[in-house]
Amino acid sequence: MSVQTWTYILVGVTFALYIGIAIWSRATSTKDFYVAGGGVSPWANGMATAADWMSAASFISMAGIIAFSGYDGSVYLMGWTGGYVLLALLLAPYLRKFGKFTVPDFIGERYYSKTARVVAVLCALLVSFTYVAGQMRGVGVVFSRFLEVDINTGVVIGMIIVLFYAVLGGMKGITYTQVAQYCVLIFAFMVPAIFISFQMTGNPVPQLGMGSTVNDGSGMYVLEKLNGLSTELGFSEYTSGTKSRLDVFAITLALMVGTAGLPHVIVRFFTVKKVKDARKSAGIALLLIAILYTTAPAVAVFAKTNMINTVSEQPYEEMPAWFKNWEQTGLLAYSDKNNDGVIQYVANPESNELMVDRDIMVLANPEIANLPAWVIALVAAGGLAAALSTAAGLLLVISSSVSHDLIKNVFKPSISEKGELLAARLAATVAVIIAGYFGINPPGFVAAVVALAFGLAAASFFPAIVLGIFYKKMNKEGAVTGMIVGISLMLFYMLKFKFGIFDGGKEAVAGLKEHWWFGISPEGFGAVAMFVNFIVALVVNALTPAPPSSVQDIVENIRIPSGAGEASTH
């Protein structure tokens, strides 16, 4: 069977599974819709959290970034996995013990202020819409190539599927759908990686294959060969870094603390029964995430090596079918500048004739390696599972922020449970439409957009949550001012240096690099904005009244482990 036939079969079967689960686990109450009834087991929540976390950026884009950035791409591995450790140890158990449905709910109650709640809602919407833009682009990329439909049509199909199970099932439907999606995406990522590792090195374990010798008789190690291929084409060695240490540190920190402040990840820890389960499910999620994250660098190395060997200095007319197929999507482009019919893939932009969108590397990898058609189709199904699982989690954050935090707790406290559930579903529907617009008009490649969402989360939520848990005298004035200043600063920097809003548009962005503040990229500036948030919050806190003693008592209580009191009285 052809790749397209296999794709229709595998994508059709997985979509039917997701819809079936949504119908089986449909939400009948607001508690079901927001936190899946609060009765999810640690293993199920760990798998759902891993799927929620491993978005299109992790599945489709991260290995592509590493393939083209080499050593510099390791910041994504360190930041995103390190953030989960931070989340499990520093935030998850305490937030679960506080017992609120959403991050704005926590901030509104902890800082005893409707203003704090509204600011938190606006931050959650900004972070979530920035993040979901990357997911919908991922859906469009997969559909455009493997189902051979227009990217816009692909985004609309994805919108309909995610709308169905997010609106019908809420968090309950999303949780069990994400358990299935984790199984699909991890299988789809690992199978081609194992195939290619064995094909290239004779070692079926990708993590070990990356450090093995190539089985072409040269006796060279895989990384050694890729370094040689890179330097021959004028690129820097794959294993050398070009980013400054400060920028590497800033990006890693922004991704770490951004992880710990992401509302769609934090809400997952309200779905378990006990505080202990929250910590346990965070550990399980980290273990399951590590499977993909330790494999991604190997996939990047294999894909880049195979691509260079396949296309560099080769006649265009002899290119295999996958090359022509990806050309039709516009994500791969060849321009014969010297009219010799031979592809020149080199570092010099004036001579380079090949444009490769880094988002295609994981998806094209099995095709480049001539793997069986079912493996190629499996990767398409995995990419869709990764994008849709995270999109669903983000849509739930958006809908709950509007229905629970704004309508129920600010504008109309008397609303019935049925009315609140209807408002949540309507908000999710509007959010899907907006997310679809971003998928059709994407602001950049998947991981770049997602990294900016982490910067926004780091700049706004992380200081407010940490100070809210560990500093009982933190007041509403300090927290609100810090959030506003932090996210405003990050937004300004992002718009100026990522989108060139104030300096001539996107065409001018490349020339603005030398003007970065402290030499820090937009992806890393969230760390700077976070420190500014902390400083502003603490200064304003020192100049304004302390919070009520009742609030301080609540903060004191959430830091005491359950059962600690009984032990000290005997």
pTM score, whole prediction: 0.83
Distance CA(363)–CA(369), nearest Å, equals 11
Q: What is the pLDDT of residues 235-285, one digit of tens each?
A: 888 888 788 889 999 999 998 898 877 777 777 777 777 777 877 888 888
Cβ-in-10-Å burial (0-12, 13-18, 19+) of 198 comes to middle
3-state secondary structure 514-533: HHCHHHCCCCCHHHHHHHHH
Of the two residues 546 and 38, the one the predictor is more confident about is 546
pLDDT at 541 over 90: yes
Distance CA(28)–CA(36), nearest Å, equals 10
Q: What is the pLDDT of residue 544?
A: 95
CATH assignment of 3-34+41-211+222-560? 1.20.1730.10
Instruction: Share the mean pLDDT of the chain.
Output: 83
Q: How many helices (H) and strands (E) does the chain have?
A: 24, 2
Mean pLDDT for the stretch of residues 399-407: 82
Q: Which helix (H) or strand (E) holds 333?
A: strand 332-334
pLDDT at 570 over 60: no
**Tokens at residue 482, please?**
């810090």
**Tokens at residue 528, please?**
């700077």
pLDDT at 511 over 90: no
Q: What is the pLDDT of residue 331?
A: 79
Instruction: Please report which residue ranges of 113-212 form alpha helices under DSSP H.
Output: 114-146, 151-201, 206-209
Quote helix, strand, coil % in the chain, to nearest 5. 75, 0, 20
Mean pLDDT for the stretch of residues 23-50: 72
Q: Range with the lowest mean pLDDT among 145-154, 255-264, 470-479?
A: 145-154
Most confident of 51-65, 427-441, 515-529, 547-561: 515-529
3-state secondary structure 230-293: HHHCCCCCCCCCCCCHHHHHHHHHHHHHHHCCCHHHHHHHHCECCHHHHHHHHHHHHHHHHHHH
pLDDT at 508 over 60: no
Mean pLDDT for the stretch of residues 175-196: 87
Distance CA(417)–CA(356), nearest Å, equals 50
Q: Do 519 and 493 meet the contact criterion of CB atoms below 8 Å apart?
A: no
Instruction: Please report which residue ranges of 341-372 form alpha helices under DSSP H.
Output: 361-368
Of the two residues 480 and 448, the one the predictor is more confident about is 480
Task: Return all residues near 178 (Cβ < 8 A) that are at least 6 apart.
Answer: 47, 48, 51, 52, 389, 392, 393
Where in the chain are the domains? Answer: 3-34+41-211+222-560
Q: What is the pLDDT of residue 487?
A: 95
Q: What is the pLDDT of residue 546?
A: 92
What confidence tier does 465 reach under pLDDT thresholds 50, 70, 90? very high
Distance CA(280)–CA(141), nearest Å, equals 35
What confidence tier does 567 reach under pLDDT thresholds 50, 70, 90? very low
Distance CA(114)–CA(120), nearest Å, equals 10
Distance CA(397)–CA(400), nearest Å, equals 5
> In this structure, what DSSP letter does residue 90 have?
I
**Tokens at residue 400, please?**
């709950």
pLDDT at 197 over 90: yes
Give percent of the chain above pLDDT 90: 22
Calculate the dihedral angle through the C-alpha atoms of 536, 538, 543, 547, rounding to the nearest 10 degrees.
130
Question: Tokens 């590397």 sit at which residue?
Answer: 361
Distance CA(456)–CA(11), nearest Å, equals 33
Mean pLDDT for the stretch of residues 149-157: 77
Of the two residues 415 and 390, the one the predictor is more confident about is 415
Mean pLDDT for the stretch of residues 449-467: 88
Of the two residues 192 and 443, the one the predictor is more confident about is 192
